[in-house]
Chains A and B, each alone.
Chain A
Amino acid sequence: MLGRAANTLAGLALLSATSCQPAAEGPAAEGRTSARSAASSYRGTLLPDPIQKPDFVLPDTRDRPFDFQARTRGFVTLLFFGYTSCPDVCPVHLANLGLVLAKLPPEVRTQINVVFITTDPDTDTPERMKEWLAGFHPDFIGLRGTLDEVNEIQGRLGLPHAVVVKSDEGHTVGHSSAILAFTKDGLAHLRYPFGIRQADWAHDLPRLVQEDWVDS
Chain B
Amino acid sequence: MQWWCFAREGAWTWAWQPIPGVWAFVLSLGLVYHLRSRHWHQEAPGPGGLSLGWRKASFYGGVLLLWVSLDWPIGPLGAGYLASVHMLQFVLVGVVAPALLLVGIPEAGYRSLPGRRFYPFLRQLTHPVSAFVVFNVIMTISHWPGLVDRLMPTQLGSFVMDLSWMFAGLVLWFPVIAPVPHGKSLHPLYKIGYLALNAFLIRPPFAMMIFSAHPIYEIYELAPPVGGVDPLADQQLGGAIMKIGTAWAMGAGVVAAFFDWRRAEEGGRVGGA
Query: Which residues from chain A sit less than 8 Å from chain B, CB to CB?
Result: 18-19, 87-88, 91-92, 95-96, 99-100, 103, 135, 194-195, 197-199, 202
Is B223's CB under 8 angstroms from A95's CB?
no
Interface residues of B in 57-108 (CB under 8 A from A): none
16 extra interchain contacts, Cβ-Cβ under 8 A, other than A99-B231, A100-B214, A198-B221?
Answer: A19-B10, A87-B10, A87-B224, A88-B9, A88-B224, A92-B223, A92-B224, A95-B225, A96-B221, A103-B213, A135-B228, A195-B222, A197-B214, A197-B218, A197-B222, A199-B214
Is A87's CB under 8 angstroms from B11's CB?
yes
The answer, among A19, A92, A199, for a CB contact under 8 Å with B222, is: A92
The answer, among A87, A194, A198, for a CB contact under 8 Å with B231, is: A198
Query: Which residues from chain B sit less than 8 Å from chain A, CB to CB?
Result: 9-11, 213-215, 218, 221-225, 228, 230-232
Which residues of B lie under 8 Å from residue A194 when comparing CB positions?
A: 222
Which residues of B lie under 8 Å from residue A135 when comparing CB positions?
A: 228
In the complex, A92→B230 CA distance in Å?
Answer: 10
Is A99's CB under 8 angstroms from B228's CB?
no
Q: How far is the CB of A170 from chain B (nearest CB, A)?
A: 12
Which residues of B lie under 8 Å from residue A87 when comparing CB positions?
A: 10-11, 224
Q: How far is the CB of B40 from chain A (nearest CB, A)?
A: 51
- What are 26 of the A-B contact pairs (CB < 8 Å)? A19-B10, A87-B10, A87-B224, A88-B9, A88-B10, A88-B11, A88-B224, A91-B225, A92-B222, A92-B223, A95-B225, A95-B230, A95-B231, A96-B221, A99-B230, A99-B232, A100-B214, A195-B222, A197-B214, A197-B218, A197-B221, A197-B222, A198-B214, A199-B215, A202-B213, A202-B214
Which residues of B lie under 8 Å from residue A19 when comparing CB positions?
A: 10
In the complex, A103→B215 CA distance in Å?
Answer: 14
Q: How far is the CB of A59 from chain B (nearest CB, A)?
A: 27
In the complex, A135→B228 CA distance in Å?
Answer: 9
